[in-house]
């Protein structure tokens, strides 16, 4: 009796059979609301979008007509305007992910290592507060900073270091800056938990075995941060490649990435089918890039992710 | 191999001291334990020796080198942590090779020494495994192999057995001690477990509230504790209230429930005052075992507890309770609760301490 009881307790503790302990499949009812929401507002629209992408492109027609064709896709991959946009989207998202990692890692490291509870909370609030304002408002803030008559150019002109404004906005640079600003908190939050989970004794063990602070970081702390680096980079990449607002505002319609094309096709020319086809390409491109990155990163992390 | 000297070593955090003025010489090849309850400063002391914590004042010498200002990687020490700290992203062989690679040893030498180290700790053939595939005891051995392969001058062990279950802990206790003896490496062992300290150490330093309060061999610490704290922290003891009648050199006569007893006296025990008389339960003799000793008392048996190898008696003398333990041998006398029994011990088995 006592033994059976201990076994039951230990099996609950080990987490192996929580559902069993709580009465089998009844637990599944808890996910029904989330499932219904996901089905109605994500799966159904996404599938219908995919469907019309294979419809003949007719301006103004939104519903599925069933005129099956690959024309929309052929058009994307034969016109430089569109296939260059795919490469541009991937390139910008990759650069943003790299920048966010390089800027975000030290920040996440400091926050993770801050033991003082007050200071830790303060730093977390600082990171989260960057997410509190709507993206559009934050982008207008960046415009004030980076515009031709903005603060940066204004100061440089006034100091006489430059004679005409530097092109900081309405170009790829501006889009990258905007996207890094928007995505940085996601990177930092992905990293903090992972870095915190690296036990300090691992770093100390490395030090005592003869590693300098830098060697201990490169050989122990950084490799053990790989799951967070992976998660953060993928998240930032996905957010960047699918962002419409930032390229629209910071690129001033001059940086033609896929979401801008989608918006133009659907909102301006009313060609829903072609817009949907670009969306499908965007989705699959993003998925493929994520897949390749995951494979590559998993290899460097020794298959631990 | 080197000796270790701590000179006035102190660590202050804010208002209080974590470690206060520790002066300690640990000889070459010695197994020295720092024993004390959590928060007594033993781990802080060890971490200062390792170089992870900067002392507020005082000096640390390893051999003839003053290492006080050196970072951990320049101290040439080996440390095994409570959680073993096996690098999870490297296999066992890579873990053990870590220190050798940093020392820029050749590939062949590393391979050979890793194999030797694995053999030394009884884990030959484990090189390809990862931390998650190892039991606690195996991780312990890998951690030791990883440290020893770099041939450190001193070995620091930070509660290395506390995460193991009881059976394995017993086994590892002797295994570590044997290995240490074989290598002759100066070792500092931090523990809160008196059994580990008594079993493994050449000498023990008992710590209480940031200070070392007694240093001695396991026998000295167990049999001649200097303070009540040491007495109660190491093993079980009867601690009885007595009045001191007179002092003769290292001995005193005390009054326990109207009976005059002799005992050894610690520093500061003076005639006329109250003191604590300390007797280990295994030293309290019962019935016929008292023999012809003139130090004898009448006690009432309150209870008898059968514990297999030993039988434990709670006895009443005057208003105080005394616990006696005796080996449960086939021919041994037993005493029923309620009976009055003669008890006694030799004067040198008891110690009068400052109350």
Residue A8 has pLDDT above 50, yes or no: no
- Assign A304 a pLDDT band (cuts: 50, 70, 90): very low
The enclosing H or E element of A48 equals helix A44-53
> What residue spans define the domains of chain B?
4-230, 236-354
Rounded distance between C-alpha atoms, residue A133 and residue A86, angstroms: 29
Contact B245, B255 (CB under 8 A): yes
> Are the Cβ atoms of B150 and A210 closer than 8 angstroms?
yes
The per-residue b/e assignment along A133-158, b for 16 or more CB within 10 angstroms, e otherwise, is eebeebbeebbeebbeebeebeeebe
- Chain B residues close to A202, C-beta within 8 Å: 85, 87
> Are the Cβ atoms of B73 and A205 closer than 8 angstroms?
no
pLDDT in tens, chain B (355 residues): 689 999 999 999 887 888 889 999 999 999 999 999 988 999 999 999 999 999 999 999 999 899 999 999 999 999 999 999 999 999 999 999 999 999 999 899 999 999 999 998 889 889 999 999 998 889 999 999 999 999 999 999 999 888 888 888 888 889 899 999 999 999 999 999 988 999 999 999 999 999 999 999 999 998 888 888 998 888 888 998 888 888 888 888 888 888 888 888 888 788 888 888 999 999 998 888 888 888 888 899 999 998 888 889 999 988 889 999 988 877 777 888 989 998 989 888 888 888 7
pLDDT in tens, A76-105: 999 999 999 999 999 999 999 999 999 999
- Chain A residues close to B87, C-beta within 8 Å: 202, 205-206, 220, 224
Q: Give the number of residues written for chain B.
A: 355
Task: Mention the CATH class of domain B236-354.
Answer: mainly beta
Q: How many CA atoms lie within 13 A of A166 on its CB side?
A: 15
pLDDT in tens, A281-300: 999 988 888 888 888 776 66
Superfamily of domain B4-230: P-loop containing nucleotide triphosphate hydrolases (3.40.50.300)
> Are the Cβ atoms of B73 and A204 closer than 8 angstroms?
no
CB-closest option in B71, B75, B83 to A201:
B83
Q: Which residues contact B35 (CB under 8 A, 6 or more apart)?
A: B42, B191, B192, B193, B194, B197, B204, B205, B206, B207, B233, B234
CB-closest option in B51, B85, B102 to A205:
B85
DSSP codes joined into one string, B27-39: -TT-EEEEE--TT
Distance of CA B191 to CAs A58, A164, B37, B51, B160, Å? Answer: 80, 70, 8, 19, 8
Whether chain A has a CB inside 8 Å of the CB on B87: the answer is yes
Contact B191, B176 (CB under 8 A): no
Rounded distance between C-alpha atoms, residue B244 and residue B273, angstroms: 6
> Are the Cβ atoms of B85 and A302 closer than 8 angstroms?
no
Contact A244, A182 (CB under 8 A): no
Domain B4-230 shares a fold with domain B236-354: no
What stretches of chain A adopt beta strand conformation (E)? none
Rounded distance between C-alpha atoms, residue A249 and residue A109, angstroms: 32
- The distance in angstroms from the start CA to the end CA of chain A is 41
Interface of A with B in 148-207 (CB under 8 A): 199, 201-202, 204-207
H helices of chain B, in order, are 42-50, 92-102, 107-120, 136-148, 166-183, 194-200, 218-223, 228-233
Q: A198 to chain B, minimum CA–CA distance in Å?
A: 10
Rounded distance between C-alpha atoms, residue B213 and residue B218, angstroms: 14
Longest dimension (CA), chain B: 78
Rounded distance between C-alpha atoms, residue A82 and residue A79, angstroms: 6
Rounded distance between C-alpha atoms, residue B154 and residue A94, angstroms: 49
Beta bridge partners of B60: B6
Q: What pLDDT does residue B6 have?
A: 93
Rounded distance between C-alpha atoms, residue A243 and residue A182, angstroms: 10
Size of interface A-B (CB pairs under 8 A): 70
Whether chain A has a CB inside 8 Å of the CB on B94: the answer is no
ipTM beyond cut 0.85: no
Contact B96, B117 (CB under 8 A): yes
Q: Give the number of residues written for chain A.
A: 305
Dihedral of the alpha carbons of A254, A258, A260, A263, in degrees to the nearest 10: 160
- Chain A residues close to B82, C-beta within 8 Å: 201
CB-closest option in A212, A220, A301 to B87:
A220
Rounded distance between C-alpha atoms, residue A184 and residue A178, angstroms: 10
Domains and CATH numbers, chain A: 70-300 (1.10.3720.10)
Contact A220, A141 (CB under 8 A): no
Rounded distance between C-alpha atoms, residue A70 and residue A57, angstroms: 10
Longest dimension (CA), chain A: 87
Rounded distance between C-alpha atoms, residue B240 and residue B254, angstroms: 11
Rounded distance between C-alpha atoms, residue B67 and residue B74, angstroms: 8
Beta bridge partners of B291: none
- Chain A residues close to B73, C-beta within 8 Å: 207-212, 215
Chain B residue with CA closest to A223: the answer is: B89
Rounded distance between C-alpha atoms, residue A206 and residue B89, angstroms: 13
Whether chain B has a CB inside 8 Å of the CB on A213: the answer is yes
């Amino acid at each position: 009796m006592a033994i059976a009881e201990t076994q039951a307790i230990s099996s609950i503790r080990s987490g192996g059979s929580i559902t069993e302990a709580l009465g089998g499949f009844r637990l599944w009812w808890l996910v029904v609301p989330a499932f219904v929401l996901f089905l109605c507002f994500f799966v159904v629209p996404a599938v219908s979008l995919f469907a019309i992408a294979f419809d003949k492109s007719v301006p103004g027609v939104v519903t599925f007509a069933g005129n099956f064709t690959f024309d929309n896709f052929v058009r994307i991959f034969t016109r430089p305007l569109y296939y260059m946009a795919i490469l541009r989207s991937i390139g910008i998202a990759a650069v943003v992910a790299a920048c966010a990692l390089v800027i975000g890692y030290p920040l996440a490291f400091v926050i993770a290592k801050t033991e003082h509870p007050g200071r830790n909370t303060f730093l977390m609030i600082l990171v989260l507060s960057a997410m509190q304002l709507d993206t559009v408002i934050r982008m207008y803030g960046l415009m004030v900073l980076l515009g031709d008559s903005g603060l940066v150019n204004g100061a440089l002109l006034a100091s006489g270091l430059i004679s005409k404004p530097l092109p900081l906005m309405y170009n790829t640079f501006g889009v990258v800056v905007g996207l890094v600003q928007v995505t940085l908190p996601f990177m930092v939050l992905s990293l903090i938990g992972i870095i915190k989970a690296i036990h300090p004794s691992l770093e100390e063990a490395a030090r005592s075995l003869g590693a300098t602070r830098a060697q201990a970081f490169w050989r122990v702390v950084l490799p053990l941060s790989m799951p967070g680096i992976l998660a953060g980079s993928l998240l930032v990449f996905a957010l960047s490649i699918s962002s419409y607002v930032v390229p629209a505002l910071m690129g001033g319609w001059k940086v033609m990435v896929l979401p801008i094309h989608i918006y133009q096709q659907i909102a301006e020319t009313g060609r829903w089918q072609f817009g949907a086809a670009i969306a499908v390409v965007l989705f699959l491109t993003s998925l493929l890039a994520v897949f390749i990155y995951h494979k590559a990163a998993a290899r460097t992390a020794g298959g631990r992710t | 191999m080197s000796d270790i000297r701590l000179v006035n070593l102190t660590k202050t955090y804010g208002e209080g001291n974590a470690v206060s003025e520790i002066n300690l010489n640990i000889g070459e090849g010695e197994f020295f334990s720092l024993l004390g309850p959590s928060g007594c400063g033993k781990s802080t002391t060890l971490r200062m020796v390792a170089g992870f914590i900067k002392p507020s004042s005082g000096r640390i010498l390893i051999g003839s080198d003053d290492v006080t200002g050196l970072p951990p990687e320049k101290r040439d020490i080996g440390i095994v942590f409570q959680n073993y700290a096996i690098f999870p992203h490297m296999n066992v062989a890579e873990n053990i090779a870590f220190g050798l690679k940093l020392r820029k040893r050749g590939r062949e030498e590393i391979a050979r020494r890793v194999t030797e180290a694995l053999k030394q700790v009884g884990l030959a053939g484990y090189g390809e495994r990862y931390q998650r595939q190892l039991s606690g005891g195996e991780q312990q051995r890998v951690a030791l192999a990883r440290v020893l392969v770099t041939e450190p001058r001193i070995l620091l062990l930070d509660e290395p057995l506390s995460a193991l279950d009881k059976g394995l802990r017993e086994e590892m206790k002797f295994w570590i001690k044997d290995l240490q003896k074989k290598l002759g490496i100066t070792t500092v062992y931090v523990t809160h477990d008196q059994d580990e300290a008594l079993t493994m150490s050449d000498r023990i330093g008992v710590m209480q509230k940031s200070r070392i309060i007694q240093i001695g061999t396991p026998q000295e610490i167990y049999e001649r504790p200097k303070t009540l704290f040491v007495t109660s922290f190491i093993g079980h003891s009867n601690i009885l209230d007595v009045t001191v009648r007179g002092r003769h050199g290292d001995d005193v006569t005390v009054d326990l429930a109207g009976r005059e007893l002799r005992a050894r006296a610690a520093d500061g025990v003076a005639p006329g005052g109250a003191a604590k008389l300390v007797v280990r339960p295994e030293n309290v003799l019962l019935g016929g075992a008292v023999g012809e000793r003139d130090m004898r008392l009448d006690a009432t048996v309150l209870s008898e507890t059968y514990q297999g190898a030993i039988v434990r008696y709670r006895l009443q003398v005057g208003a105080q309770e005394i616990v006696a333990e005796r080996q449960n041998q086939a021919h041994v006398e037993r005493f029923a609760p309620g009976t009055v029994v003669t008890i006694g011990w030799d004067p040198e088995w008891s110690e009068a301490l400052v109350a």
